[in-house]
């Protein structure tokens, strides 16, 4: 329970009333550059060290297989350059709005001698400027609290990690990713904390990790990630400098597929959870939907309140800005008041069936009509199944069977333009039937 207590303890610091400042935390100390981590006796070995609590090849993994290492190079592609031209930005490799996420765009004054912009999203982009902690962190007896005070970002804490990831993978008040950028051709953004955490990892959750950093629970990370992402959506919506664009709200916060459908299609159908009719642009509430499923396990009463308040928020978007802001503050309060409870929840072996059961009930009444929510449900199924497999709460045969079910769910959300709710619901129900 050490990690759960840590999470609860840092809410005031990293979640807080403003939900901003994460980028400032990363930039607080000088950045020495990825080369400072590349030594073969540090993190740059070709293979794992046998006698060290760390892998020793973290830099090599990042450089060879992690897409973050190639993110700056992406800006030189014809597609990226075309987006920049449409936005009037000139060269994408020099435009701040592009560099903020496609590299580690540290202020000039905080760049050390070995710092290179073309390293992409490098070590210190996630771990913080290493000026004060780079030497000390190699000491197995180092005081972790002191390291964090000196600028090491606590990526082991899912709340802090999620907030940092969101600055680029969804957009925050620190780094706003707008509908204008999407209109110029940028791919749609989607994020789920636990899934993204395990893409090309350069660490292992072993006994040493747990000893130094506390317990790990993938299901809890998924659950907290949904709450953090939902709160971030509301935080941007509430920000007068980012949530609104003239007479319109910032449309990147709304469901893409509510508008981007063929004019001749007759695809509309009701979603009870919104209370809205046809021809209405719906708030992109996929993370709110999934967080409600989290609460259906942790606190069913809170889940019902979140549903009621979310419906009121949807209706408020048709009434006016003041009504929308008031309703958004209410939903955000629902999330903030429940996150500590989610952090402290055990997420034991019965969680999988309960979460999937809650999703199926939503699916049967048409709540997964929107592609984005179905996509998040598929990611959730994957995260929860993998978490149980990792925790040895599923035997090999059961895990293999469930993974095949997850693959079938994923198949239904491969293409947002061809999404069919009925196919998704059938696959989700089949997965639920297989679950313990």
Contact predicate 104/30, CB 8 Å: no
Q: What pLDDT is recorded for position 9?
A: 42
Stretch 408-423: mean pLDDT? 92
pLDDT at 392 over 80: no
Distance CA 40, CA 32 (A): 17
Q: What pLDDT is recorded for position 94?
A: 96
Considering the chain, what percentage of its residues have pLDDT values greater than 70? 92
Q: What pLDDT is recorded for position 271?
A: 86
Q: Which of 124, 145, 166 is the last residue of a domain?
A: 145
Domain match, 291 and 376 both = yes
Tell me the per-residue pLDDT of 66-78, one tens digit each, with 9 for 90 and over. Answer: 999 999 999 999 9
pLDDT at 337 over 90: yes
Of 104, 224, 99, nearest in space to 162 by CA = 224
What does pLDDT average to over the chain? 87
**When comparing pLDDT for 196 and 92, which is higher?**
92
Domain match, 333 and 410 both = yes
Stretch 425-434: mean pLDDT? 91
Domain match, 200 and 280 both = yes
Domain match, 214 and 246 both = yes
Domain match, 166 and 263 both = yes
pLDDT at 394 over 70: yes
State how many domains the chain has.
2
pLDDT-based confidence at 92, cuts 50/70/90? very high
From the number of C-beta atoms within 10 Å of its C-beta (0-12, 13-18, 19+), residue 48 rates as middle
pLDDT-based confidence at 217, cuts 50/70/90? confident
pLDDT at 220 over 70: yes
Q: Which of 93, 112, 145 is the last residue of a domain?
A: 145
Q: What pLDDT is recorded for position 163?
A: 94
pLDDT at 210 over 90: no
Domain match, 46 and 8 both = no
Domain match, 157 and 117 both = no
Tell me the per-residue pLDDT of 161-173, one tens digit each, with 9 for 90 and over. Answer: 999 999 999 999 9
Q: Which of 101, 122, 145 is the last residue of a domain?
A: 145
Stretch 222-229: mean pLDDT? 94
Stretch 315-324: mean pLDDT? 94
**When comparing pLDDT for 130 and 174, which is higher?**
130
Strands 244-245 and 248-249: antiparallel
Domain match, 98 and 189 both = no
Q: What pLDDT is recorded for position 208?
A: 77
Stretch 206-221: mean pLDDT? 81
Q: What pLDDT is recorded for position 263?
A: 64
Q: Which domain holds residue 244?
A: 1-21+151-436
pLDDT at 346 over 60: yes
Domain match, 436 and 331 both = yes
Domain match, 249 and 295 both = yes
Distance CA 293, CA 248 (A): 30
Domain match, 132 and 253 both = no
Q: What pLDDT is recorded for position 246?
A: 84
pLDDT at 289 over 50: yes
pLDDT at 4 over 60: no
Domain match, 17 and 37 both = no
Contact predicate 38/69, CB 8 Å: no
Residue 35 neighbours by CB under 8 Å, 6+ apart: 114, 116
């Amino acid at each position: 329970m050490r990690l759960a207590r840590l999470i609860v303890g840092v809410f005031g610091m990293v979640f807080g009333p403003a939900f901003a400042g994460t980028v400032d935390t990363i930039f607080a100390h000088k950045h020495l550059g990825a080369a400072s981590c590349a030594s073969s006796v540090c993190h740059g070995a070709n293979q794992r060290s046998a006698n060290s609590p760390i892998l020793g090849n973290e830099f090599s993994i990042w450089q060879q297989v992690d897409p973050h290492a190639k993110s700056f190079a992406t800006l030189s592609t014809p597609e990226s350059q075309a987006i920049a031209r449409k936005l009037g930005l000139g060269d994408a490799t020099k435009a701040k709005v592009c560099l903020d996420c496609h590299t580690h765009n540290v202020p000039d004054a905080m760049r050390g001698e070995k710092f290179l912009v073309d390293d992409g999203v490098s070590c210190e982009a996630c771990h913080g400027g290493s000026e004060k902690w780079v030497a000390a962190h190699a000491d197995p007896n180092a005081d972790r609290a002191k390291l964090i005070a000196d600028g090491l970002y606590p990526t082991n804490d899912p709340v802090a990690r999620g907030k940092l990831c969101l600055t680029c993978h969804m957009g925050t008040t620190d780094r706003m990713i707008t509908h204008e950028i999407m209109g110029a051709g940028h791919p749609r953004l989607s994020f789920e904390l636990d899934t993204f955490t395990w893409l090309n990892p350069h660490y292992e959750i072993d006994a040493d990790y747990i000893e130094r950093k506390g317990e790990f629970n993938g299901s809890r990370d998924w659950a907290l990630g949904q709450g953090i992402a939902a709160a971030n959506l509301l935080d941007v919506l509430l920000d007068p400098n980012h949530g609104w664009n003239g007479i319109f709200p910032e449309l990147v916060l709304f469901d893409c597929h509510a508008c981007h459908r063929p004019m001749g299609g007759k695809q509309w159908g009701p979603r009870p959870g919104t209370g809205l009719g046809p021809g209405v642009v719906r708030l992109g509430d996929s993370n709110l939907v999934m967080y409600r499923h989290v609460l259906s396990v942790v606190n069913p009463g809170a889940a019902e309140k979140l549903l009621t308040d979310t419906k009121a928020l949807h209706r408020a978007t048709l009434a006016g800005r003041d009504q929308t802001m008031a309703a958004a503050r209410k939903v955000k309060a629902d999330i903030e008041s429940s996150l500590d409870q989610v952090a402290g929840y055990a997420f034991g072996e019965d969680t999988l069936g309960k979460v999937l059961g809650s999703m199926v009930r939503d699916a049967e009444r048409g709540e997964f009509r929107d592609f984005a929510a179905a996509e998040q449900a598929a990611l959730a199924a994957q995260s929860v199944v993998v978490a149980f497999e990792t925790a040895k709460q599923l035997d090999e045969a059961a895990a293999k069977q469930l993974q095949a079910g997850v693959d079938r769910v994923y198949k239904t959300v491969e293409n947002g333009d061809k999404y069919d709710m009925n196919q998704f619901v059938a696959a989700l129900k089949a997965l639920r039937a297989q679950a313990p």
